[in-house]
Structure 1
Amino acid sequence: MRREARVGVVVEGGQRALNSSPGLTAQLQQQHTLQQQQSQIGTVSQLLAGGVAGALSKTCTAPLARLTILFQVQGMHSDVATLRKASIWNEASRIAGEEGFRAFWKGNLVTIAHRLPYSSVNFYAYERYKKLLQMIRGLENRRTNMSADLCVHFVGGGLAGITSASVTYPLDLIRTRLAAQTNVIYYRGIWHALHTIVKEEGILGLYKGLGATLLGVGPSIAISFSVYETLRTVWQSHRPHDSTVLVSLTCGSLSGIASSTATFPLDLVRRRKQLEGAGGRARVYTTGLFGTFGHIFQTEGVRGLYRGILPEYYKVVPGVGICFMTYETLKMLLADVSATS
């Protein structure tokens, strides 16, 4: 920021002096070109770091992510007695025995295809929204104020989450349907699923559950980024010499727990809405978002809204931690490469 400010001052001063010093034109143009190159490098670095971080964390935690999805959708086509017998160990054993060990990564290819652009847009949009919010009058002069910083991180994270989810939603829906398949294989891959959904349910079928997604992902990413940034700031202010990797991993894990706990019921409803009509099955929920909430609460109770929260915790602690750690590490590495090139 300081470097950009200095360049801006030089350009502004140079523009006023062009008539009296024509020789400055070439120098100013060169500085302007250099500034554009630096900005472009920064953008590419952020997109690359965000994409790789998201793909790596999702691949590492794919088995737990699939268990979470299977638990979340059990209430759609299962009776209460079956639900009471469900456990992480039993479900994991069933997958290994009936589908094989590789089935724990079922749908992971589309997960990576979704996560690369999703995480890239998410982290990049967050950095952009954060800079824009910091320029707002009243916040610009209060950057050292924790409440102002928290507001910037929360709002910026929420806007980034909504932006990235909207852009990549069809891939998220396809990933859910592939991961939710057990013994009966209806969708044979990404392109077959895409073609089948459009053919049977129309283009809008690719956006089933988008309302619940945006309602959930905004607060989820907002909480995740704000908790992460706040914890990291407090940690580094008290222990500035601790490893950046350790700080990012720990703060990222804690932020993941906070965001998952707060928004898990919305995520569960989102998954079930995404599976409406999948594989030719009849619709289960004929009402909107709040009607679906009410139906789950009446038939399954409060526990039904948090079905699958345990494997979600097992997944989110390493997953979000790895994501933030990888992102921060790659940003530093790519910044060093850009500086030396």
Structure 2
Amino acid sequence: MAEATKAFKRPAADGKAGGPAKKKAKVASKPLPIAAGSNWAKLKGQLQPSTKPKHAAADAPKKHDLAYVKVKKVSEKKPKKGQTIDWIDTALIVAMDCEMVGVGVGGTRSVLARCSIVGFDGTVLYDEHVKPLEKVTDFRTHVSGIRSKSLRNAIPFAKCQNDVGELLKDKILVGHAVRNDLQALMLTHPKPMLRDTTKYRPYMRRRMNGTKLLPKALRHLAQEVLDKTIQTGEHDSVEDARTTLELYKRAMVPWEKALKASKVPGGLVGVAPLNVAAKEKADKEKRDAARVAAGGDVDDSDDDFATAVKNMQDKPVKQKTLHVPDAAKLMLQEYDE
């Protein structure tokens, strides 16, 4: 029996004797990768999400949303180039005017007798009478409004000079012929910080021949620009300073733009007034050119007038001489009669 059992046993699968044979585990085979064709690569590119930004029309407001569109347009509107100026702190803007009296022989030299400074809103910041450094020979009361009693409680010149110097520090100074006031105070001020109404071209006038620009008087500017009457009698330095400040405020934006574009600080700025003589000459040339183009003659009426004047100068009218008879002959005539 034992022998039969031994004979029944089979050798192991691995060649070793004993033990039942083990079955091998089946391993699932991975599919081999298939090379993508050109059609598949093209389709894959179409299926992938696009990285390009979306069209602006997708985010644009609807046509019916007119209010939103209008607000957006206004908010996105940019100022035109040259339409804006740098922001200026109005607390740094002051106006000054001084009154003078005459000293020396005949009172021909001017010295300080009163100094007034006002703020941007017209508030009086400083107003003091000053003791002249020399003996006054002409108070010029009809213009300055200064009398001898006005100087009884006046402050010394050195104190006024120190006070005004501290007050004008880092300030934009507005004035009419402000250089004369600074000269009377024996002070200087940075040219870029000066705003002189006598150097703003739109506030100036031309000579009769239309060439050179000249400053206008403050009372004339006040009447023409502000429709305001000042200096009808004695001058008031506070009123004059306020008037000068109003003139600056009236033209503040174009004035500051002109200063920003100017390369010469302290020089003339702004657009000059119209040259009437040059305009008339240009208009005449245009009319003459139009007549010549139309086959007509040039309008030489002005030339004829100039020629007539020249002829009169070259050939003056002969004056008749007055014949005075001899006195002896008159006596003989009377005797004969």
Relative contact order (alpha carbons < 8 A, sep ≥ 6): 1 or 2 greater? 1
Q: TM-score range by the shorter chain?
A: under 0.3
What is the TM-score of this pair, normalised by structure 1? Answer: 0.21
> Which is higher, the Rg of structure 1 or of structure 2?
2
Q: Of Structure 1 and Structure 2, which has the larger fraction of its residues in helix?
A: 1
Q: Of Structure 1 and Structure 2, which has the larger fraction of its residues in strand?
A: 2
